[in-house]
Amino acid sequence: MLPLWLEPLTRLIDAGGVVLVGIASVAALLFSLALERVLFFRFTYRRARRRLVRRWAQRADHHSWSALTVREVWARELITRLRRPLPWLKLLVALCPLLGLLGTVTGMIAVFDSLALSDTSQARAMADGVARATLPTLAGMAVAVVGLLFTTRLEQVIRREDQRLHDRLARAVEENDA
């Protein structure tokens, strides 16, 4: 007898096969990275942005080539920290439909294998097998769509924050000169 906490996992494997567990694992990793980015943006990034603007405003030189280069380097470092997990998010989003397709192919192979072993063609068994084979595709596409929406939104936020950061740094100089 299985522990109670493993029962949903066994039902998941029965419904869509082992590949569905892989899709669920990728989805958990994808959404945990997304949650980490939200928390990073809300807490860490905003504090770091304020510190950077204060540090820039406290500088004596704001207009020389070296000062503008320093400002650009500081801004790039901060935006890079915000952008850091984006390639991993994109990889996980791209992986989900592929895992779904893998589940469909393995499920269809199992359906045809079971039909070859039985002497009669059972329409009900074939329908159940096809349903089992398409479940991973549906799950993979659903996770990919939600992940794609988040990734696109994160890219928009990064572009917006890049512009806002440069605007705030320029405004800090104007306020300091006035």
- At residue 127, the pLDDT reads 74
Determine, yes or no, domain membership for 70: yes
Q: How many domains does the chain have?
A: 1
Q: What is the model's pLDDT at position 107?
A: 84
Q: Nearest CA to 138 among 170, 173, 103, 105?
A: 103
Per-residue model confidence (pLDDT) at position 119: 59
Does residue 9 fall inside a structural domain?
Answer: no
CB atoms within 10 A of CB 18: 12
Q: What is the chain's pLDDT, residue by residue, as a tens digit (178 residues)?
A: 678 888 887 887 787 788 888 999 999 999 999 999 999 999 999 999 999 999 999 988 888 999 999 999 999 999 999 999 999 999 999 999 999 999 989 888 877 777 777 656 677 767 777 877 888 999 999 999 999 999 999 999 999 999 999 999 989 888 776 6
Q: What's the pLDDT score for residue 121?
A: 61
pLDDT at 50: 94
Owning domain of residue 157: 18-177
CB 93 within 8 A of CB 148: yes
Residue 64, in any domain of the structure: yes
Terminal Cα-to-Cα distance of the chain (whole angstroms): 76
Q: Please report whether residue 45 resides in a domain.
A: yes
Whether 82 maps to a domain, the answer reads: yes
- As a whole number of angstroms, the distance between CA 109 and CA 144 comes to 24
Give the chain's largest Cα–Cα span.
90
Q: Is residue 8 part of a domain?
A: no
In a domain, 10, yes or no: no
